[in-house]
Amino acid sequence: MNQQQVTTGIVLTRVDYGEADRIIIFITPDAGKLRLMAKGVRKVKSKLAGGVELFSISHITYIRGRSEIGTLVSSRLQTHYGRIIENIDRTMAGYEIIKQLGKATEDEPEADYFHLLEQAFAALDSPETPLELITVWFSAQLLRLSGHTPNLQTTPDGTKLAASQTYEFSFDDSAFVPREAAPYAADHIKFLRLTFSGNQPTVLAKVTGASRLAKATGQLVMLMRQQHLRF
């Protein structure tokens, strides 16, 4: 008989099954992705329902199944980022962030991905943190964790980036190249360095002109993500 196991999980997807059940995919810090059957969770008096909410972190007890789907035994809410759903734009951004992380991770993702999603929820739950900054930061972290941080220090030939120069980004070299009247200057590159270094959004929000810089670099980071992560 399989033993019960305990971990912390964040819901990535919930799919209705039968009349009252759901198949739920959790991401965890120590057990990768778990596909668990939550029996009777859609019933009004279900004891599981409160611990399988979106934008939440829950303590879960489960049993691994013989197939790829195990059984959710119990769930208890640890943290719920309820302010996310009070704003439609932040709610939709939250859905997109969950979707992106699901696509970026295999069945056994590193614990860093769990903590990344936890940090993203905390940022979305904070009205003071600009939404455009969160979305740029999150894409940058997915690139960083997958080993695709761009060269933000030198040009492709090894020349150190200069504060007085403007640059365009070479996707072939994953680096900036100098060009007169190009769209990226020293402040954009400094912002990207801070973003890719792993700083949390609340820290980035303190940078002078953070919202402006996030908007100016957002398209570039999104194109990097599409190039390397294919979504």
CA dist 174 and 143 (Å) reads 12
- Tokens representing 210 are 């953070």
> What pLDDT digit, counting tens, does each position of 79-114 carry?
999 999 999 999 999 999 999 999 999 999 999 999
**pLDDT for the residue 165:** 97
> What pLDDT digit, counting tens, does each position of 37-53 carry?
999 999 989 999 999 99
pLDDT at 7 over 60: yes
* Dihedral sign (CA 122, 203, 98, 64): negative
Q: Is residue 15 classed as helix, strand or coil in its secondary structure?
A: strand
Residue 176: closest CA among 162, 194, 197 = 162
pLDDT at 2 over 80: no
CA dist 124 and 130 (Å) reads 9
* Side-chain-facing half-sphere of 209: CA atoms under 13 Å: 9
**Whether the Cβ atoms of residue 111 and residue 194 lie closer than 8 Å to each other:** no
**pLDDT for the residue 172:** 97
Q: Calculate mean pLDDT across residues 207-224.
A: 97
In the block, which residue shows the tokens 């912002």?
A: 191
pLDDT tier for residue 1 given thresholds of 50, 70 and 90: low
**pLDDT for the residue 30:** 96
> What's the pTM value of the predicted model, to 2 decimals?
0.94
**Whether the Cβ atoms of residue 53 and residue 11 lie closer than 8 Å to each other:** yes
> What pLDDT digit, counting tens, does each position of 138-179 carry?
999 999 999 999 999 999 999 999 999 999 999 999 999 999
Residue 21: closest CA among 2, 1, 48 = 48
In the block, which residue shows the tokens 């980071």?
A: 221
pLDDT tier for residue 67 given thresholds of 50, 70 and 90: confident
Q: Which residues contact 66 (CB under 8 A, 6 or more apart)?
A: none
> What pLDDT digit, counting tens, does each position of 187-211 carry?
999 999 999 998 999 999 999 999 9
**Helices marked H in the chain:** 88-104, 111-124, 131-145, 186-196, 201-204, 210-229
**Whether the Cβ atoms of residue 136 and residue 195 lie closer than 8 Å to each other:** yes
Q: What are phi and psi of 179, to 5 degrees?
A: -155, 140
pLDDT at 224 over 70: yes
